[in-house]
Amino acid sequence: MFEITVDGERIPSYEGETIAAALLAAGRLILGYTAKNNQPRGMYCGIGLCHECMMEINGIPNTRACQILATPGCVVNTQQGWGKGEE
Partner 1 sequence: MRGKYSTGLGERRGIELMKTELAIIGAGPAGITAAIEASRAGVAVTILDENPKPGGQIYRQFDEGFSIIDADMLGRDYSRGQELLREFGKVAHKIQYINHSTVWGIFDDRLAYQDGKKSATLGFDRLIIATGAYDRPVPFPGWTLPGVITAGGVQRAVKIHRILPGSKILLAGTGPLQLVLADQIISAGGQIEAILEAGNINWFSFLPGIWRQWDTLVDGFRYLRHIWNAGIPLLRNHIILEARGDGQVEEADIAEVDKNWRPKLHTRRTLKVDSVCLGYGLVPSSELALLAGCEHRYVRELGGWVPLRGEAMETSVPGIYAVGDGSGVAGSKVAIEEGRIAGTAVARSLGRLSITEAQDRIAIFQKHLSRLKHFCGTLYEISRPRPGLYELARKDTIICRCEEITLEAIETAMAANAASLNELKRMTRSGMGRCQGRICGPTLFEIMSRKEGSQANEPGAFKPRPPVKPVSLDVLAGNPTSTS
Which residues contribute to the site for partner 1 (CB under 8 A)?
Answer: 14-18, 21, 24-25, 29-31, 34-37, 39-52, 54, 57-60, 62, 66, 68-69, 71
* Smallest separation, CB 60 to partner 1 (Å): 6
Question: Closer CB to partner 1, residue 8 or residue 27?
Answer: 27
Pairing assessment for the beta strands 60-64 and 32-33 based on DSSP bridges: unpaired
3-state DSSP assignment of residue 56: strand
Question: Closer CB to partner 1, residue 5 or residue 39?
Answer: 39
Pairing assessment for the beta strands 2-6 and 54-57 based on DSSP bridges: unpaired
Question: Closer CB to partner 1, residue 10 or residue 49?
Answer: 49
Q: How far apart are CA 76 and CA 14, in angstroms?
A: 16
